[in-house]
Structure 1
C-alpha cells in the first residue's frame, strides 16, 4: 500500500441562495410536470445569481473549511482550486479565490488543478503526496462550480441535472499512530471517450479570431450520456476492484462511498456493478444535482456533518470525469 500520513482537517460548503425546483425546471424545459425528477432524481438545485462569481463562492466554502479545522488562512501554505469550470481563461481561479479571501498580498501559492468532475479527487491525490513528503504542510483545496451558465437547454436530460455550488477541504499531516491516513489512490484516463463530454470552445482550437471559428453552441456543455454510461459500466468494476486491492481492503469494510454525483443512472450503476449497499452510498443528487468537481467534497462534507462519517472511518471517494477518466481514493478519515 502507498500509505500517506495525511488527513482531512476540515471541510466546508457554500451554495447560492437561488434554488430551482424540479417543477420549475420542467417549466423552463417545456416538459410535463414530473419529467425532470423522473429523469434525473434532482428535486432541487442551486443556481448562482447573475453576477455571482465562482471565486467568491469558493472563498466562502474555504472559510467554512478553515473554521472547521480551527485554522486561519495564514496557517495554510498552498491554495489549490480544483474545478472543472473556470471563472475566466487567465489567470487561474485560485488567484481570484485568494483575492476574495482578502489575502491578495499574502504570497500564498495559488494554482488550479483541472480534471473536470474529478478535479477535487485529483488535487487530493497530488497535494496529499506533496504534504506527505514535506513540500507543503497544510493545503486548502477548493472546488467552485457555476455549471448553469454553460448549459445547453436544448439537451434537456443534461440541463435538468446540473447545479452550482462550492466545497472545500483543508489537508495536513497526520500522526502515524492516529486513525487518519490515505491508503491508496488511482486515476486512469481513456481518451477514446474524450468526445463524450466536452465544451469545444474557450481554448486555442475554436476561437472567434482563430482558423476554426467558434459558434455559440461550442461554448456550451455537450454530453453523450449513453456512451459515457456504456464505457464506465465496462471499466469501473475492474478499476474499483484493483483500487480496493491496492488499499488492502474490501467494499464491505468501507463505511461510506462518496461518489461523483454524475446522475441517478450512474448511482444505480455503482450500486449494481460494484456491490455497494444503499446504506454505504452518500447520495446528495436530489438536493444538489451534479455540481461537477464540487460534488465529491460536497458529499464528503454532508457525510461528516451528519455524523455518517466519523474520525477513523474508512471512506471511498470514486467517480468518472470527462476524458474519459476514472478516479478513486481510499482513506481513513
Structure 2
C-alpha cells in the first residue's frame, strides 16, 4: 500500500567533542592506524555534557526550520532510537520538554527496534498519517552509544558515534510517498548483540564489579554479518515484490552504517554501484538508529538526491532484524 507521506524537513545535531581514530587507538592500546583500518571510521563525535533529549531537540528545531513549519503545527512527536535517556518516561516526552512544549499536549511516544528504530517508526507512523490521524509528525533519532561501550571489546568499541537527526513528516497528495516496506526478525540471533543489564532481568541494583560487563554493549560482529548476509537477498526480493521496481530503478541506497567492511560486501551483494550507495561511516561511525537518517541528511545536503528520486532505506539491527523501506523522496 502506497502511503503519501513526505519528508518535509530534516535537521541534525553532533556533540561538541570530536574523537579521532588515533585517539581511539590510544584508548584501547592499539597501534596507531589500527582502528581506522579495521572499522573504516576516521572520526566520530562523543557527548560531553549533552543529553539525548537535548540533542534531539536541537535537531528537531533545525528540521522544523527546514520544513518551514512551526511547533504549533506538529501533531505528534516520536523518538525512534535504540538507546534511552532514562527508563521512564519516553525519550519523546523528554524531547518535548527540551523544546519548551511542556503544556502543548502533543502526543509523544518511543519506537525501539535498536538500529532500525528510525525505519520502523517511519513505517508505522506512515500508516496512521495516510489514514488521516496526523498531518505533521516530528520523528527523531537521538543516540548516545559512547556511554555503553566496552573498551575491552576492540571489535565494537572502535565503531560507534553519538548524535541526533530529526525529520518532519507531512501528509501529501503529491509524488512523495512510501512505496513498500518490510521487516523480518530472527531471534536465533537475539544474543549476538545485546546489553544484558539495565532492565528487569539484571536490574541496575545488581550492578557491581563482577556484573559490570552485563551493563555494557556486547557484539559478535562476525556472526551477525554471517547470519544477515544469508538473509538479505531473500529479504530484498520480498521487499521489491511489493512494487514493479528493480534495484536498477533505485537512485540511492541509504544503508545502516554498521561498518565499512560490512557495507562494502552488502553493496557488492546487491550489485549497487558505489555512486548509488551512501556511506558516511568514516566521519560519523555507527550512530545506531541515527545512522540511516544521518546518511539521508548528508545525501540531501550534498545534493546527491533530489525530489522524486527513489530511495531504499536498508538495515539490520539487534533482534536479529532486517528492515527496509522504498520511498519516493
Verify same fold: TM over 0.5. yes
Give the corresponding residue for 2:36. 37
How far apart, in 2, do the equivalents of 1:109 and 1:160 lie?
37
- Within 5 Å, which residues of 2 pair with 1:52-71? 52-71=50-69
Is it true that 1:230 corresponds to 2:226 in the alignment? yes
Q: Secondary structure at the match of 1:279?
A: helix
For residue 7 of structure 1, report the CA deviation from its aligned partner: 1.1
Matched, 1:105 2:113: no
Instruction: Report the secondary structure of 1:195's partner residue.
Output: coil
Q: 1:89 maps to which residue?
A: 87
Query: Are the equivalent residues in 1 in contact too, given 2:40–2:261 (CA < 8 A)?
Result: no
Map of 2:26 onto structure 1? 27
Q: How far off is 1:72 after superposition? A: 1.2
- What is the CA deviation profile of residues 83-131 of structure 1, one whole-angstrom value per residue up to 9, with x for unaligned ones? 0000000111111100000111111001100000000000000001110
Q: How many residues align?
A: 328
Cα distance in structure 2, aligned partners of 1:85 and 1:156: 21
Q: CA deviation at 1:247?
A: 2.4
1:214 Cα deviation (Å)?
8.3
Residues 11-44 of structure 1 show CA distances to partners (whole Å, capped at 9, x for unaligned) of 1110011111111111111000110111000000
| Deviation of 1:9 (Å) | 0.6
Partner residue, 1:16: 15
Inter-partner Cα distance in structure 2 for 1:259 and 1:193: 20
The aligned counterpart of 1:5 is 4
2:142 maps to 1:144: yes
SS at match of 1:130: helix
Runs of 4+ off more than 6 Å: none
Query: How far off its partner does 1:209 sit?
Result: 4.8
TM-score, normalised with respect to structure 1: 0.96
* Shift in Å, 1:272: 1.7
Match of 2:263 in 1: 267
**Corresponding residue to 2:70 among 49, 68, 72:** 72
Paired position in structure 2 for 1:131: 129
Gaps of 5+ in 1: none
Partner of 2:78, secondary structure, is strand
User: What are the superposed Cα offsets for residues 252-293 of structure 1, whole Å, 9 maximum, x if unpaired?
Assistant: 111110001011122012112111110101100000000000
Distance (Å, rounded) in 2 between the aligned partners of 1:79 and 1:41 = 34
Structure 2: how far apart are the matches of 1:183 and 1:134? 18
* Structure 2 partner of 1:295: 291
**What CA deviation, in whole Å up to 9, does each residue of 1:216-275 have, x standing for no partner?**
111100001011000011000110122122122111111110001011122012112111
RMSD: 1.4
How far did 1:67 drift?
0.7
Q: Distance in 1 between matches of 2:105 and 2:43?
A: 39
- Within 2, Cα distance between the matches of 1:290 and 1:261? 5
Cα distance in 2 between the residues matched to 1:209 and 1:151: 20
> Could you tell me how far 1:52 is from its partner in structure 2?
1.5
Q: Is the 8 A contact 2:4 2:175 kept in 1?
A: no
Distance 2:179 2:258 in 1: 25
